[in-house]
């Protein structure tokens, strides 16, 4: 599934954390392909992008404690090619 980044603004502490681990973030008005969808325990939906392959970073997990995962980007940062929010049904077609 192709999506367009409509929000590439990250809080300064997040950018500092990403910089520490060499994480690249999506850029405004750039087209990306969703390669994987992740449903988080918080209820949020994150995506991994084919064009950005990031290293794993330490994440506090409610069950596993500290573990390492590739960071995802909230689906709300993206829109479909027609400018609509990405629908849950469309994401179900992407391999999880």
The pair phi, psi for residue 32, each rounded to 5°, is: -135, 160
In sequence order, what are the beta bridge partners of 73? 47
What's the pTM value of the predicted model, to 2 decimals?
Answer: 0.89
Q: Give domain limits for the chain.
A: 2-91
Q: CA-to-CA distance for 14 and 71, rounded, in angstroms?
A: 11
Tens of pLDDT along the chain (96 residues) come to: 999 999 999 999 999 999 999 999 999 999 999 999 998 878 889 999 999 999 999 988 788 889 999 999 999 999 999 999 998 778 877 755
């Amino acid at each position: 599934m192709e999506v367009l980044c409509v929000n590439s603004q990250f809080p300064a502490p997040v950018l500092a954390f990403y910089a520490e681990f060499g994480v690249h973030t999506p850029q405004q008005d750039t087209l990306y392909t969703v390669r994987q969808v992740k449903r988080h325990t918080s209820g949020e939906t994150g995506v991994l992008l084919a064009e950005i392959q990031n290293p794993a970073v330490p994440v506090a997990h409610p069950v596993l404690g500290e573990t390492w995962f590739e960071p995802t980007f909230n689906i709300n940062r993206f829109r479909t090619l027609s400018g609509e929010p990405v629908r849950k049904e469309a994401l179900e077609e992407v391999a999880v």
